[in-house]
């Protein structure tokens, strides 16, 4: 939470949480004492009181016969909404009524699942920091909003002023981006958020996505985080860089620009659980139209130093304190809190079990023959949402990260989506190809 010098007082608070699909929800409540100062907003009586919501009306939360949820805003998460000056927002802890009365933390709360996974896997003094890279398209009338290419500038990049607004807006929300630039496809932009502890960073991702969509709406555009909105060009992913610290020591760093054993074991866990992780990191039918050769999206389970064809890439570093690893398959249709909970459980399971990954791959994995991939122990990622859900159903570690309440609901919901796509949808391609059959 950062202080604010904005003169316009906030009158309303969005008490926010996320549903099973990662969509932000909020009960809007009036502040008792409107203020422009974040510290005063955080201390407002309305924040302390919280509010009840109908959990049965929210995907994945509660049955109609036990539907009341109590949401309690966390004062340290309060921030202002630059695109709506009369409002502030805060993320909430969620509670449900216990059988004998009183309140218990909601077992269907994705933020609560991430918090629980961190509590289970991290030892005293440990902290996970992440740097996510959000890619998306600005769209006008169903087409890319400009013709720019990778790191172009104005006038080829006709979105530069809008990107400036994104940069300023996120900074005002306490989410300082490390970089904002044009990505490789027309209309495509990437926002890299600087390293931050994983739980507040998951909240930042929700806030940034919502704010970017609001800013685009104000500009008469649409911001889509759909992984593959246009054929023939790169899709939009959300690469996630990880570091694990013990006090001030980066546990992934070793001498000579190499990863430590801890870093290798974290990779071993990610690779071992990669098929199941794909279901929660790439949870839409469209996600698998991005995970194809040709545009630096991973399609095989392997790792390598500076290798953008691998699922896990080790960026160049010389200082062990800056060692990190990049997990490249996720996209921003994922529910950020659940996906990160799964990734942390997988990586930390690798550390616990001392899981050794295969040797790093230096080759362009897209060009390897099947025999070469077998020799290097390189397996394919799931090619469809259905395959990924099957892998998730077999993976006890990732299922446990989702929790006994959310795991079956997640699988049931996404199997229904996959079944509807297979049996309930007829595409334009099918009509064009088969109408005269």
Residue 262, domain CATH = 3.30.590.10
Q: pLDDT tens, 146-198? A: 999 999 888 877 898 999 999 999 999 999 899 999 999 999 999 999 999 99
pLDDT band at 59; cut points 50, 70, 90: confident
Q: pLDDT tens, 372-385? A: 888 888 899 999 99
The three-state DSSP-derived secondary structure of the chain is: CCCCCCCCCEEEEEEEEECCCCCEEEEEEEEEEEECCHHHHHCCHHHHHCEEEEHHHCCCCCCHHHCEEEEEECHHHCEECCCCCCEEEEEEEEEEECCCCCEEECCCCHHHHHHHHHHHHCCCCEEEEEEEEEEEEEEECCEECCCCCCCCCCCCCCCHHHHHHHHHHHHHCCCCEEEEEECCCCCEEEEEECCEEHHHHHHHHHHHHHHHHHHHHHCCCEEECCCCCCCCCCCCCEEEEEEEEECCEECCECHHHCECHHHHHHHHHHHHCHHHHHHHHCCCCCHHHHCCCCCCCCCEECEEECCCCCCEEECCCCCHHHCCEEECCCCCCCCHHHHHHHHHHHHHHHHHHCCCCCCCCCCCHHHCCHHHHHHCCCEECCCCHHHHHHHHHCCHHHHHHHHHHHHHHHHHHHHHHHHHHHHHCCCHHHHHHHCCC
Lowest mean pLDDT segment, chosen from 52-61, 178-187, 332-341: 52-61
CATH code of 44's domain? 3.10.20.70
Query: Is 46 found in the same domain as 154?
Result: no
Query: Is 388 found in the same domain as 240?
Result: yes
Q: pLDDT tens, 3-14? A: 444 578 999 999
State residue 1's pLDDT score. 54
Catalytic machinery residues: 54, 133, 135, 183, 190, 239, 308, 326, 328
Query: Is 163 found in the same domain as 21?
Result: no
Query: Is 88 found in the same domain as 70?
Result: yes
pLDDT at 64 over 50: no
Domain count, the chain: 2
State residue 57's pLDDT score. 80
For residue 264, being part of any structural domain is answered with yes
pLDDT at 101 over 80: no
């Amino acid at each position: 939470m950062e202080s604010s010098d904005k003169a316009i007082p906030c009158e309303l608070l969005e008490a926010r949480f996320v549903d099973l699909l990662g969509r932000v929800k909020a009960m809007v409540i009036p502040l008792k004492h409107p203020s422009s100062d974040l510290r005063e907003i955080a201390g407002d009586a309305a924040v302390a009181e919280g509010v009840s919501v109908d959990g049965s009306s929210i995907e994945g939360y509660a049955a109609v016969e036990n539907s009341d949820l109590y949401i309690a805003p966390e004062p340290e998460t309060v921030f202002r909404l630059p695109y709506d000056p009369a409002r502030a927002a805060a993320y909430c802890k969620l509670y449900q009524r216990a059988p004998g009365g009183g309140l218990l933390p909601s077992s269907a709360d994705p933020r609560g699942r991430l918090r629980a996974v961190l509590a289970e896997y991290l030892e005293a003094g440990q902290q996970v920091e992440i740097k996510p890279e959000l890619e998306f398209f600005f769209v006008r009338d169903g087409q890319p909003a400009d013709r720019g290419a990778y790191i172009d500038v104005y006038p080829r990049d006709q979105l530069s002023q809008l990107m400036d607004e994104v940069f300023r807006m996120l900074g005002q929300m306490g989410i300082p981006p490390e970089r904002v630039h044009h990505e490789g496809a027309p209309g495509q932009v990437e926002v890299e958020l600087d390293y931050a502890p994983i739980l507040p960073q998951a909240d930042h991702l929700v806030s940034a996505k919502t704010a970017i969509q609001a800013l685009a709406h104000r500009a008469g555009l649409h911001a889509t985080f759909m992984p593959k909105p246009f054929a023939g060009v790169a899709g939009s992913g959300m690469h996630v860089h990880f570091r694990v610290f013990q006090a001030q020591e980066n546990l992934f760093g070793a001498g000579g620009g190499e990863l430590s054993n801890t870093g290798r074991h974290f990779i071993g866990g990610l690779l071992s659980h990669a098929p199941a992780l794909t279901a929660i990191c790439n949870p839409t039918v469209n996600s698998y139209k991005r995970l194809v050769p040709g545009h630096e999206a991973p399609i095989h389970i392997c790792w390598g130093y500076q290798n953008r064809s691998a699922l896990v890439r080790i960026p160049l570093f010389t200082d062990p304190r800056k060692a990190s690893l990049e997990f490249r398959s996720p996209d921003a249709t994922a529910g950020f809190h659940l996906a990160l909970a799964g990734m942390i459980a997988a990586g930390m399971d690798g550390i616990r079990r001392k899981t050794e990954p295969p040797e790093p791959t230096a080759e362009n994995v897209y060009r390897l023959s099947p025999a070469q991939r077998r020799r290097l122990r390189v397996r394919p990622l799931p090619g469809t949402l259905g395959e990924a859900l099957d892998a998730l159903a077999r993976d006890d570690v990732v299922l446990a990260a989702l929790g006994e309440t959310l795991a079956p609901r997640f699988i049931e919901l996404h199997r229904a989506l996959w079944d509807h796509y297979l049996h309930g949808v007829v595409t334009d391609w099918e009509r064009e190809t088969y109408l005269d059959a």
